[in-house]
């Protein structure tokens, strides 16, 4: 069981990596799709935002579902669903069809993070959760980094339709592997997990989901994560187009130099998880350990704004890399919060879904906002990048001030903690 928990995290890492390859493949294929289907930047911005509508609004239902049936079942259902509609994107030939596939893709992908957060809470102690979280969360950076060269190579050799079919098949392989490898207790049977980590006892008290919103901490988590994802989703949606259209990158250079920010973010996320847990083990309060990493990471990520004001390609990539790395550093602690503040173990995935719901509204905003700004400014990315830097400061404020003590939320009364 002790070895299995690391296998579980590795499988979660792979699921998140595939998740991000499948959501980012459209961003890489966007220039080709725009040309073939005659789509303008405003339309492409709308299509890119389609995924986030269902992805955001299905977070809370999928979090509830994962808490009820268990992440062991919820996660492969999510992966199988989104893989089908990734591959189905290749069959459409209109902007409306593309938008519909992205809506359906978002429904499945909504289950990934709440399920993974649930698994971490079941298999890891509080002083180990940030590093475990950083491992599975780093799949987002690996997926983002790999999506650029992999999808660019497939498009150059086989066309953009083949890119969606091939990346969709990755999830099917993962689902088969999950059921073949996973060994652990099903939902409702926590006995075996006691060999790994003492879990909080189940309680007969039912916490109305709506009562969680009476806590200031939850609203702070939602706003802070919204700000972080506002910046991260620029990388996942418009960043490839930025490199091609504003910086003159070829498809080849997009697949090499374009990977740099995401590659820098991978070890940064692991470092963020290690630092957060190490501070806690060395006597810092859980509040101080988590907030130091979240606030520090958000403040440093504001350097993204400087990328709009340099003409040097490598300096621009360095600014983007530092920003992405700082966001990853903060994200390890952010995704530990659902386990840290859940009033009972039965609400970890639900709280994860709530904060991820808010964070992915940012995907709708950044994709649409950037597309409109490009249309209004004839292709300038300056305003979106300046606004992104401002959201970094707002996110730091939210985690520092609005989020209270990092501890289980009270069950029976409204609280300002």
pLDDT tens digits along 108-126:
999 898 899 899 988 888 8
Would the pLDDT of 190 be above 80?
A: no
Is residue 417 a part of any domain in this protein?
A: no
For residue 94, the model assigns a pLDDT of 81
For residue 197, the model assigns a pLDDT of 47
**Span 139-164, average pLDDT:** 84
Would the pLDDT of 417 be above 60?
A: no
> pLDDT tens-digit profile of 57-91?
898 898 889 888 888 899 999 999 999 998 988 88
Is residue 44 a part of any domain in this protein?
A: yes
> pLDDT tens-digit profile of 281-307?
999 999 999 999 999 999 999 999 999
Would the pLDDT of 200 be above 70?
A: no
Alpha-carbon distance 414 to 80, whole Å? 39
> pLDDT tens-digit profile of 220-261?
999 999 999 999 888 877 888 888 888 888 767 776 787 888
Q: How confident is the model at residue 212 (pLDDT cuts 50, 70, 90)?
A: confident
84 burial level (CB within 10 Å; 0-12, 13-18, 19+): middle
For residue 263, the model assigns a pLDDT of 86
Q: What is the mean pLDDT of the chain?
A: 84
Q: How confident is the model at residue 198 (pLDDT cuts 50, 70, 90)?
A: very low
Is residue 407 a part of any domain in this protein?
A: no
In contact, 294 and 287? CB cutoff 8 Å: no
Would the pLDDT of 325 be above 70?
A: yes
Is residue 409 a part of any domain in this protein?
A: no
Write the CA distances from 75 to 11, 68, 215, integer angstroms.
10, 13, 28
In contact, 258 and 148? CB cutoff 8 Å: yes
Alpha-carbon distance 257 to 243, whole Å? 10
For residue 214, the model assigns a pLDDT of 87
Most confident option among 135-144, 148-157, 246-255, 280-289: 280-289
For residue 412, the model assigns a pLDDT of 56
> Against a cut of 0.85, is the pTM above it?
no
Q: Nearest 5 degrees, angle CA 13-CA 14-CA 18? A: 120
- Please give the residue range of the domain that contains residue 229: 2-186+213-402
CATH code where residue 107 lies = 1.20.1250.20
What are the φ/ψ torsions at residue 141 (nearest 5 degrees)?
A: -75, -40
Would the pLDDT of 186 be above 50?
A: no
What are the φ/ψ torsions at residue 39 (nearest 5 degrees)?
A: -100, 135
Is residue 389 a part of any domain in this protein?
A: yes
Q: How confident is the model at residue 175 (pLDDT cuts 50, 70, 90)?
A: very high
For residue 147, the model assigns a pLDDT of 79
Is residue 194 a part of any domain in this protein?
A: no
246 burial level (CB within 10 Å; 0-12, 13-18, 19+): middle
**Structural domain total, the chain:** 1
**Span 33-61, average pLDDT:** 81
Is residue 276 a part of any domain in this protein?
A: yes
**Span 154-182, average pLDDT:** 89
**Span 393-413, average pLDDT:** 87
Alpha-carbon distance 219 to 406, whole Å? 13
> pLDDT tens-digit profile of 8-28?
999 999 999 999 888 778 877
Burial 158-186 (b: 16+ CB within 10 A, else e): eebbebbbbbbebbbebbeebeeeeebbe
Is residue 204 a part of any domain in this protein?
A: no
């Amino acid at each position: 069981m002790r070895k299995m928990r690391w296998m579980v995290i590795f499988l979660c890492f792979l699921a998140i990596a595939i998740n991000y390859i499948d959501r980012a493949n459209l961003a890489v294929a966007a220039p080709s799709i725009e040309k073939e289907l005659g789509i303008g930047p405003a339309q492409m911005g709308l299509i890119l935002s389609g995924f986030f509508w269902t992805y955001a609004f299905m977070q809370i239902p999928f979090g509830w579902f994962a808490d009820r049936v268990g992440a062991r079942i919820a996660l492969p259902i999510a992966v199988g669903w989104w893989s089908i509609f990734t591959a189905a994107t290749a069959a459409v030939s209109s902007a409306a069809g593309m938008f519909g596939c992205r809506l359906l893709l978002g429904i499945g992908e909504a289950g990934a993070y709440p399920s993974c957060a649930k698994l971490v809470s079941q298999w890891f102690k509080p002083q180990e959760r940030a590093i475990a979280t950083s491992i599975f969360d780093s799949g987002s950076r690996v997926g983002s980094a790999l999506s650029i060269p992999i999808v660019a190579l497939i498009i150059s050799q086989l066309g953009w339709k083949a890119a969606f079919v091939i990346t969709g098949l990755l999830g099917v392989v993962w689902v088969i592997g999950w059921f073949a490898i996973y060994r652990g207790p099903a939902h409702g049977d926590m006995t075996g997990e006691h060999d790994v980590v003492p879990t909080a006892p189940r309680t007969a008290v039912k916490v109305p989901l709506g009562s969680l919103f009476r806590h200031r901490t939850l609203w702070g988590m939602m706003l802070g994560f919204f700000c972080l994802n506002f910046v991260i989703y620029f990388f996942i949606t418009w960043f490839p187009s930025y490199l091609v259209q504003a910086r003159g990158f070829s498809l080849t250079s997009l697949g090499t130099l374009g990977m740099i920010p995401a590659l820098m973010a991978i070890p940064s996320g692991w470092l963020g998880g290690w630092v957060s847990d190490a501070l806690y083990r060395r006597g810092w309060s859980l509040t101080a350990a988590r907030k130091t990493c979240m606030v520090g990471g958000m403040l440093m990520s504001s350097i993204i704004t400087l990328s709009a004001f340099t003409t040097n390609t490598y300096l621009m990539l360095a600014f983007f890399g530092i920003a992405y790395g700082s966001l990853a550093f903060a994200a390890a602690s952010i995704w530990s919060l659902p386990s840290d503040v859940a009033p009972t173990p039965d609400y970890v995935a639900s709280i994860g879904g709530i904060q991820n719901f808010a964070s992915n509204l940012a995907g709708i905003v950044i994709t649409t906002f950037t597309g409109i700004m490009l249309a209004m400014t004839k292709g300038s990315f300056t305003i979106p990048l300046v606004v992104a830097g401002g959201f970094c400061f707002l996110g730091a404020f939210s985690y520092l001030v609005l989020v209270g003590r990092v501890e289980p939320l009270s069950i029976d009364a409204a609280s300002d903690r």
